[in-house]
């Protein structure tokens, strides 16, 4: 957890004062057995009821003060822990959003969700219990031992035998369970990933009647996690019984030899009672210490996973330049190549072309030819391995990412909408967009008609992922969202695949008539969607096998000829 200590710096007061109040509570708790010994030795032995009454009042006052100190410490511990957890979650969320797609692909969505929820909660619990018990338990053990030595140093030697045994058990359990807890968190990542895939793919699973197979696979993963957690629990379960056994044997030894000391007159009955109370206090403190170790062990494993994400450095550094929208060169690729991390072959190889401001670029090719990858280099989701990508006349790596992406409207291949109203989704591109701007964007995207038919219009609520809309409606809304921001460049990544040919043609016509001056990149499987583009790139296995206008490619590019002929037939 030391890697996350910087998040505790704003709460130094709580970390210092909280344990201080716990120490006061422990001191008052250690005084109680001494008062009980005086009651037995002097009050009961002399039948002095007034003395007994005064001591009982003192015990009550000690208990009330101890309770107040304990409540104060628990309040400060909870305040520190929950603020720490909130700060850590926020920092982790911000850091995740600063990572490039390369790091996000490597880490995975399910493990990031698990780390920002379960792991942060476990680390937060560790901080809470550390403040409450880390000072109290050792102080009680040491203080009770000192008080016992004052009563009878020979009997106190029992502690010197017990303490190393319990300490060894704690160390052995901790070294065994930390790897198990780490492994359990990874298994939780797998379960979260499987759950997400199942919920996203519910329709596909039902369409292929795969409910039983997916249920069985999920059950196997849960069983695997169950067995792993049981294994860790069995080891952790050793702590309390072993500690109780050792300490109870110690109490029995103390009572045996204490009785002998009473017979010989070396010890009074009150002293033996106090001595036994101190031994019991040590027993309970050792149990608390054992439970604290279990919690800290889990917190340590969870904190390491959180720190691993925070220590992941983004491979993509933000630039400082602002886009120059007056540049006549909109896009330029100079011998650009790119490969995904861990992939064998390059996704793009030696791509070169230039597109001027206000022109339309069409990209066509077979599945997996690199069309979407090329578009992702424009928005700098990834950096090219070699070559230079220029947008608005400058290398994309020189721009501030936020400024670059604010100028580019992207409609992704998969239509993604968020929970909220249609208006809230459209305002993702421009938080200050007026209803007129949104209606214009809807009209261009051919979505105005169906939105107006909805009962609440722009205020219609969308469920998670926009699942209360059809595929074509979602695609049109994502296009309208991009247009709401009035971008200088519009990227349509196969975002008209769910539209019929008539709607597709009307959308292209509206873009041509009402979005003049916008540089447009259209990725499509349909040759008809790209026929009027100023420049068409034909990709095949990451290589550009042809570029030019529709007429030029029909004459010179065999791949384009095959695509066009197959669709026209």
Average pLDDT over residues 367-375: 87
Q: Looking at the domain assignment, is residue 22 inside a domain?
A: yes
Looking at 486, 504, 522, the residue that finishes a domain is: 486
- Lowest-confidence region among 186-190, 359-363, 428-432: 186-190
545: Cβ–Cβ under 8 A, 6 or more apart, which residues?
538, 539, 557, 559
Say which range, 61-70, 133-142, 377-386, has the weakest mean pLDDT: 133-142
In this structure, the answer to whether residues 302 and 428 fall within a common structural domain is no
Q: Which of 352, 363, 354 is nearest to 393 (CA)?
A: 354
**Looking at the domain assignment, is residue 290 inside a domain?**
yes
Q: What local confidence, expressed as pLDDT, does residue 2 receive?
A: 64
Same domain, 32 and 148: yes
Question: What is the rounded average pLDDT of the residues 392-401?
Answer: 90
Do 426 and 480 touch, CB atoms closer than 8 A? yes
Name which residue leads in pLDDT, 353 or 512.
353
Cβ atoms of 404 and 323 closer than 8 Å? yes
- Domain of 221, CATH number, reads 1.20.1560.10
Last residue of a domain, one of 441, 469, 486: 486
- Verify that 72 and 197 share a domain, yes or no: yes
The yes-or-no verdict on residue 391 having pLDDT over 80 is: yes
Domains of the chain: total: 2
Residue among 363, 372, 414 at smallest CA distance from 525: 363
Asked whether residue 421 falls in the same domain as residue 278, the answer is no
Tell me the residue ranges of DSSP E strands in 209-271.
none
Indicate the residue among 486, 520, 542 that finishes a domain.
Answer: 486
User: Quick check: 480 pLDDT over 80?
Assistant: yes
Which residues 6+ apart lie within 8 Å of 271 measured at CB? 37, 41, 151, 152
For residues 273 and 37, the answer to whether their CB atoms sit within 8 Å is: yes
153-158 long-range Cβ contacts below 8 angstroms, 24+ apart = 154/257, 155/254, 155/257, 155/258, 155/261, 155/275, 158/250, 158/253, 158/254, 158/279
Q: Which helix (H) or strand (E) holds 356?
A: strand 348-356
Lowest mean pLDDT, pick from 15-24, 166-175, 358-367, 519-528: 166-175
Q: Would you say residue 547 lies in a domain?
A: no
Tell me what the mean pLDDT of segment 253-257 comes to: 77
Main-chain phi, psi angles of 250, to 5 degrees: -60, -40
Evaluate if residue 395 carries a pLDDT over 80: yes
474 neighbors 408 (Cβ within 8 angstroms): no
pLDDT above 90: residue 333: yes
Assess if residue 553 is contained within a domain. Answer: no
- Same-domain pairing of 421 and 305: no
The confidence score (pLDDT) of residue 351 equals: 92
Q: What is the CATH number of the domain that holds 481?
A: 3.40.50.300
pLDDT band (50, 70, 90) for residue 45: confident
What is the percent of the chain with per-residue pLDDT over 90, rounded to a whole number?
A: 15
Give the pLDDT mean for 277-299.
78
pLDDT of 192 strictly over 80: no
Q: Which of 513, 499, 558, 504 is nearest to 531 (CA)?
A: 504
What's the 3-state SS for 398-441? Answer: HECHHHHHHCEEEECCCCCCCCEEHHHHHCCCCCCCCHHHHHHH
The answer to whether position 248 is within a domain reads yes
Phi, psi of 153 (to 5 degrees): -70, -30
Q: Which among 397, 381, 377, 403 is positioned nearest to 325, based on CA atoms?
A: 403
Q: Tell how far CA 98 is from the center of its chain.
A: 13
Task: Please tell me the predicted confidence (pLDDT) of residue 89.
Answer: 92
DSSP calls for 491-506: EEESTTTTS-HHHHHH
pLDDT tier at 317, thresholds 50, 70, 90: confident
Range of the domain at 437: 415-486
Q: Is the pLDDT of residue 1 over 70?
A: no
Is 240 inside any structural domain?
yes
Q: Is the pTM of this model over 0.75?
A: no
What's the mean pLDDT in 436-445? 91
Answer whether residue 431 is part of any domain: yes
Q: Across the chain, what does the average pLDDT equal?
A: 84
Tell whether 516 is covered by a domain: no
Q: Tens digits of per-residue pLDDT, 517-563? A: 889 999 988 888 888 889 999 998 889 999 999 999 988 888 888 88
């Amino acid at each position: 957890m030391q890697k996350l200590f910087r998040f505790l710096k704003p709460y130094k007061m709580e970390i210092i004062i909280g344990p201080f109040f716990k120490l006061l509570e422990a001191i008052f708790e250690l005084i109680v057995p001494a008062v009980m010994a005086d009651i037995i030795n002097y009050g009961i032995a002399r039948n002095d009821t007034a003395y007994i009454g005064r001591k009982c009042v003192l015990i009550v006052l000690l208990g009330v003060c101890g309770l107040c100190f304990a409540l104060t410490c628990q309040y400060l511990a909870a305040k520190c822990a929950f603020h720490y957890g909130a700060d850590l979650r926020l920092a982790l969320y911000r850091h995740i959003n600063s990572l490039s797609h390369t790091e996000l692909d490597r880490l995975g969505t399910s493990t990031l969700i698990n780390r920002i929820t379960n792991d942060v909660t476990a680390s937060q619990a560790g901080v809470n219990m550390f403040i409450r018990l880390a000072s109290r338990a050792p102080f009680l053990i040491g203080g009770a031992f000192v008080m016992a030595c004052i009563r009878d140093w020979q009997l106190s030697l029992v502690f010197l035998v017990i303490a190393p045994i319990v300490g060894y058990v704690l160390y052995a359990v901790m070294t065994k369970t930390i790897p198990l807890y780490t492994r359990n968190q990874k298994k939780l990542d797998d379960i979260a990933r499987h759950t997400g895939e199942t919920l996203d793919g519910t329709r596909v699973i039902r369409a292929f009647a795969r409910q039983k197979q997916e249920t069985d696979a999920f059950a196997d993963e849960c069983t695997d996690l169950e067995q792993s957690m049981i294994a860790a629990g069995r080891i952790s379960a050793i702590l309390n019984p072993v500690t109780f056994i050792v300490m109870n044997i110690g109490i029995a030894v103390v009572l045996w030899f204490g009785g002998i000391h009473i017979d010989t007159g070396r010890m009074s009955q009150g002293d033996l009672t106090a001595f036994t109370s101190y031994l019991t206090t040590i027993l309970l403190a050792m149990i608390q210490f054992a439970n604290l170790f279990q919690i800290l062990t889990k917190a340590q494993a969870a904190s390491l996973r959180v720190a691993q994400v925070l220590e992941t450095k983004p491979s993509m550094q933000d630039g400082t330049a602002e886009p120059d929208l007056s540049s006549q060169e909109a896009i330029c690729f100079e011998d650009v190549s790119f490969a995904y991390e861990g992939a064998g072959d390059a996704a793009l190889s030696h791509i070169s072309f230039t597109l001027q401001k206000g022109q339309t670029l069409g990209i066509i090719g077979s599945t997996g030819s690199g069309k979407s990858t090329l578009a992702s280099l424009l928005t700098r989701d990834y950096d090219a391995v070699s070559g230079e990508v220029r947008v608005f006349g400058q290398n994309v790596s020189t721009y501030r990412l936020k400024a670059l992406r604010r100028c580019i409207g992207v409609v992704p291949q998969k239509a993604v909408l968020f929970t909220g109203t249609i208006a809230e989704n459209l305002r993702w591109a421009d938080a200050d967009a007026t209803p007129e701007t949104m209606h214009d964007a809807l009209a261009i995207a051919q979505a105005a008609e169906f939105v107006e038919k909805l009962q609440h219009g722009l205020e219609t609520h969308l469920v998670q992922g926009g699942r209360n809309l059809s595929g074509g409606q979602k695609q049109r809304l994502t296009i309208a969202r991009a247009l709401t921001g009035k971008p200088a460049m519009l990227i349509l990544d196969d975002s008209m695949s769910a539209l019929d040919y008539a709607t597709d043609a009307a959308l292209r016509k509206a873009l041509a008539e009402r979005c003049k001056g916008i540089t447009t990149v259209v990725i499509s499987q349909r040759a008809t969607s790209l026929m009027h583009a100023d420049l068409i790139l034909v990709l095949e296995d990451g290589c550009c096998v042809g570029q030019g206008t529709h007429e030029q490619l029909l004459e010179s590019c065999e791949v384009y000829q095959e695509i066009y002929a197959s669709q026209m037939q």
